[in-house]
A and B are shown apart, each in its own frame.
Chain A
Amino acid sequence: MNEKRIVIDDKKINRRRMYNKTGQVLFFLSTVFGMIVLATLLVRIFTQGFDYLNWDFLTSYASRRPEDAGIKAAIAGTVWVMGITIPVSLVLGVGTALYLEEYAAKNKFTHFIELNLSNLAGVPSIVFGLLGLTVFVRTFAMGRSILAGGLTMSLLILPIIVVASKESIRSIPQEQYEAAYAMGATKWQIIKTVVLPAATPGILTGAILSLSRAVGETASLLMIGAMAFIAYLPDSIFSSFTVLPIQIFNWAGRPQAAFQSVAAAGSIVLLVILIAMNSVAIIIRNKYTKRY
């Protein structure tokens, strides 16, 4: 037998175990930190806003008197804006992803486009707000309308939807394409019968998550001039509008203490909507994602 060159003594082992233990404690504390902040936030919002949260709050317009104030116009505005954003961003986003993954030649130019899509996803929303103000509100003279707001939101979440859709399409195994090609399917038939059915859960998950970002989005809509005080429901896509986060932002900026509570009540509603949307995304992801 050769002399053993790997020698382990108790001292070495104890030190390793200690490092392991330290690591475990540190990572646990990091997790706890996040949990505590989240819990504090929730407790504060709920204790402050819960008393104002009732049916009247959901069905009243904004008001000068905190006890009469409600979020009817804001909820309607959010729904209308999403009504523009969802179809526009889905059609453009999925279309772009399909082109890049299925049709475009893999060369430097498409690589450049893909790189910049990821960059776009990181651009601050206020910049998109500026773009929306210049292009939609002024150049196309849409004014401070739902249409302008919805289109701006579409641009904001478009990169995220494209990237999520691309990932989803790319995860379809090559064998699935081969199976369809070998039976004489054309590319479009393959997209319809193989790619889209398999990619839809991933696309929807990405789309819902990015839409929930859009629902909570404030800066870009402030930029294009969404109003804070609206005492009527929108009647067309050219109406002026407000959305939930802007309404909350406005209330939170008022000097009266009671409006802080109204803002908190609005936040609860917004949180519930966002959590509901994210839950739907998670359910879709877990239930329908295909495994090969």
Chain B
Amino acid sequence: METKELTKSVYSVTDFNLWYGQTHALKNISLDIPHKQVTAIIGPSGCGKSTFIKTLNRMVELVPSVRMEGSIKYQDRDIFGAGSNVESLRTEVGMVFQKPNPFPKSIYDNIAYGPRIHGVKDKTILNEVVEKSLKGAALWEEVKDRLNENAFGLSGGQQQRLCIARALAVEPDVILMDEPTSALDPLSTAKVEDLIQELKQNYSIIIVTHNMQQAARISDKTAFFLNGEVIEFDATEKMYSNPQDKRTDDYISGKFG
């Protein structure tokens, strides 16, 4: 834990390029993502922001035609290096998706899924993890009396917080969120946003969002992506009040996108 506190950035991306077949989706990306802060990634559809966040836990490799160049270091380790394996990276870097995707299992089994696949069998530990994760995702009070009910019975917003709890149960250091509120109503969105503020105490959060107000509300730093390039990456406050690049200004002020 000591060394981690000293590391200032959790991810360090240098000259990163990515292609889907012939399409050049990410171009010369270089940025350092800070530790225990919320980093927002904004930009219009198709700008590569989802691709970028999926690269950080190597989920992008599920696309067969993908090709990558450059380096991404997580806690000073090259995530594509020979010594790194994808399963342990994804244990340290959790992910929450656009659409809530609980398993068709009970609430309890959804949360216990991660610990179980990593070999935790002890009932007491599992019970603790489930309670802690649900509390961490501000869902415990709502579901503690029906842990054995199917997760599909929850509302959309609850399902998304369940997915956050499920990600927390693996005890990650980073949580990647790919437009986590785009399928939710405003009230559920507000709950998830509050939750992100709390999670920031203990986790580094990287969130892709379509919603510029959301980025302004919750993030410490913001990266603006356009056509696969990082146009601007700065403290959110500075970027919204005084953008350096005209395109950032145009996007933030709603001239396109």
> Interface of A with B (CB < 8 Å)?
105-106, 173, 175-186, 189, 193-194, 197-198, 290, 292
Contacts and interface: CB of A to CB of B under 8 A. Distances in A.
Nearest to A173: B101
B191 interface: no
Interface string B181-200: 00000000000000000000
A197 B91 CA distance: 23
Given A106-B64, A178-B59, A179-B163, A185 B101 contact: no
B101 A183 contact: no
Contacts of B116: 193
Interface in B10-50: none
Contact of B170 (A183, A189, A292): A183
A292 B86 CA distance: 28
A175 B101 contact: yes
Contacts of B103: 176, 179-180, 194
B114 interface: yes
Contact of B117 (A106, A178, A189): A189
Given A181-B62, A189-B117, A193-B113, A176 B101 contact: yes
Given A198-B104, A292-B104, A183 B99 contact: no
B118 A184 contact: yes
A184 B59 contact: no
Interface string B85-117: 011111100110101011111000000011011
| Interface size range of chain B in the complex | 20 to 34
A182 B167 CA distance: 8
Please indicate which of the listed interface residues A176, A181, A198 has the most CB atoms of chain B within 10 Å of its own CB. Answer: A181
A183 B94 contact: yes
Given A183-B113, A194-B103, 18 more contacts: A175-B97, A176-B101, A177-B62, A178-B95, A179-B163, A180-B103, A182-B57, A182-B59, A182-B94, A182-B95, A182-B97, A183-B90, A183-B91, A183-B170, A185-B87, A193-B116, A197-B104, A292-B104
A77 B114 CA distance: 47
Contacts of A194: 103
B161 interface: no
B166 interface: yes
A173 B97 CA distance: 13
A179 B105 CA distance: 13
